[in-house]
A and B are shown apart, each in its own frame.
Chain A
């Protein structure tokens, strides 16, 4: 079995590849930015980190758009972080970026959803706040952006990739943008959500595609289990 990790030159690809190798030592895991390699591989991992505009630019530069579109319809494919966000219709990052349109809805900045944080950053900007004047309880309410850390994912529907993973298990997230619109049932299913000020999509899928907002390659046992489930998956729900 050959698993291709798409190399767009951004993000920590080495960790993604190494994690897949660890759970599937018998598989041939390649890092590639070659269209033919994607078409020939049995499975695709589509990682992403950083700005989505750069991500799409690199995809185009490497001439991978058509090959990826074809893979999205025909073989098991796992999207990670920006690799997931790119599958929605639209992302508001970088002045607006059209997505691959596999899932309905827009990807928006966290601050779009909670006004609390706006106040918090205003607090920070206004100098001379008396030290004793701020209670720690208010501090706790503050949501820092990016969301960076371990959050719990509640599983909304069963899926082969959740196999052996507890409901409400912790995964590692690093992101400032998120999707929170529920795709229609024929245009994707939300498989997992998490809360960070509001509910957002942590895992979404459609036929042979499964995509996660968190980083399984950095999520210890739960992340490795999900990757193992992916390497075992036949692409059917």
Chain B
């Protein structure tokens, strides 16, 4: 029996507020993170992800308080990412009540960090976040579908191939990959299914599809066509277009196993 496919609402948190950008810019306020997390928990979310996009390091502790508060009221897995640079950052977030820690830029600068973190805290709590964008690599020819990864919230290109990177991170002990299509993020045009499929085929760890969800059909496609183990979305839930419950009903109707407890 396969595991239920997970629906994960994502909260981008800036200075203690939930925000949502379009194509990584253009910020719109979406509320208090604790209130928003509780709402998704009540709607039957399988997990909640917080990405701390606070720019200044002075306000880094804000996310710890948010996590502490959410973890004392919400009893589903919580993933937290953003600004994780050292093992002590991982420890502090876990102690605050996070179950999984998502790492992006630090993994690129120092891939061994993923080895250290997974051997220290266990693979199950180390998520590698990959922000990828369709790219033309001269050496791979015109026909190939290629994506390169970006760091710093999508601002810096790295020249690293996304598929090779995902394979490397899985080998280094990542327990899961959070894959965001930068081309899709905030556009509501659906996940980049080619990218999602390429990564889910390449690695043997769970892959969370992210970036671009505009309707419930996109969630279904992420699983059925992209092969994702979990689907992440932000704005379709934040602004009340759909509830998590509705999303699950749509997935079940499409023949996907989801966790839908008796009402």
Interface residues of A (CB under 8 A from B): 12, 14-15, 18-19, 22, 49-51, 117, 120-121, 123-124, 129, 131, 134, 136, 139-140, 142, 144, 146-152, 166, 169-170, 172, 174, 194-196, 217-224
**A138 → chain B, closest Cβ, in Å?**
9
| Residues of chain A lying within 8 A (CB to CB) of residue B230 | 149
Q: How far is the CB of A176 from chain B (nearest CB, A)?
A: 8
Can you list, as one digit per residue, whether each of B193-233 has a CB less than 8 Å from chain A (1) or not (0)? 00001101111111000000000000000001101011000
Nearest B residue to A145, CB-CB: B204
A151 touches B4 (CB 8 A): yes
Q: Tell me the nearest residue of chain B to A219, going by C-beta.
A: B75
From B3, B99, B145, A150 is in contact (CB under 8 Å) with B3
In the bound complex, residues from chain A placing their C-beta under 8 Å from that of B6 are 149-150
Indicate whether A223 sits within 8 Å of B203 (C-beta atoms), given known contacts A152-B1, A169-B261, A170-B4. Answer: no
Contact A146 B124 (CB under 8 A): yes
Return the 7 tightest CB-CB contacts between A and B, nearest first: A149-B3, A195-B1, A170-B259, A150-B4, A150-B259, A18-B72, A174-B124
Alpha-carbon distance between A98 and B201 when the two chains are bound, in angstroms? 38
Task: Tell me the bound Cα distance from A123 to B71 in angstroms.
Answer: 38
Which chain B residue shows the least CB distance to A146? Answer: B124
27 CB < 8 A contacts A-B: A12-B94, A12-B99, A14-B71, A14-B96, A14-B97, A15-B97, A49-B122, A50-B122, A51-B122, A124-B202, A131-B198, A139-B200, A139-B227, A144-B204, A146-B124, A147-B3, A148-B3, A148-B124, A149-B3, A149-B229, A150-B259, A152-B1, A172-B76, A194-B1, A195-B1, A196-B1, A196-B3
Task: Let me know if A144 and B1 touch, CB within 8 A.
Answer: no
B167 at the interface (CB under 8 A from A): yes
Interface SS majority for chain B: loop
Q: B46 contacts the other chain (Cβ, under 8 Å)?
A: yes
* Residue of chain A at shortest CB distance from B224: A136
Q: Is B95 an interface residue (CB 8 A)?
A: yes
Residue numbers in B under 8 Å from A18 (CB-CB): 71-72, 97
Q: Which residue of A lies closest to B68 (CB)?
A: A14
Nearest CB in chain A: distance from B47 CB, A: 9
Question: Across the interface, which residues of A come within 8 angstroms of B31, CB to CB?
Answer: none
* Residue B103 at the chain A interface, CB threshold 8 Å: no
Are B229 and A218 neighbours in the complex by a CB distance under 8 Å? no
Tell me whether B176 is interfacial, beta carbon within 8 Å: yes
Given A146-B123, A148-B175, the answer on whether A218 and B261 have CB atoms closer than 8 Å is no
The distance from the CB of A29 to the nearest CB of chain B, in whole angstroms, is: 12
Give CA–CA (A18, B96) in the complex, Å: 12
Residues of B within 8 A of A152 (CB): 1, 4
Does the CB pair B71–A220 fall under 8 Å? no
B259: A residues at CB distance < 8 A = 150, 170
Q: Could you tell me the distance between the alpha carbons of A149 and B225 in the complex, rounded to whole angstroms?
A: 20
Tell me whether A144 and B77 are in contact (CB under 8 A): no
Q: A14-B95, A18-B72, A124-B167 are in contact. Are A220 and B206 (CB under 8 A)?
A: no
- A120-B204, A124-B203, A124-B204 in contact; A218/B4 too (CB < 8 A)? no
Residues of chain B with a CB closer than 8 A to A174's CB: 124
For the complex, what is the distance from the CA of A22 to the CA of B261, rounded to whole Å?
21
Query: B26 near A: Cβ within 8 Å?
Result: no
B175 contacts A150, C-beta separation under 8 Å: no
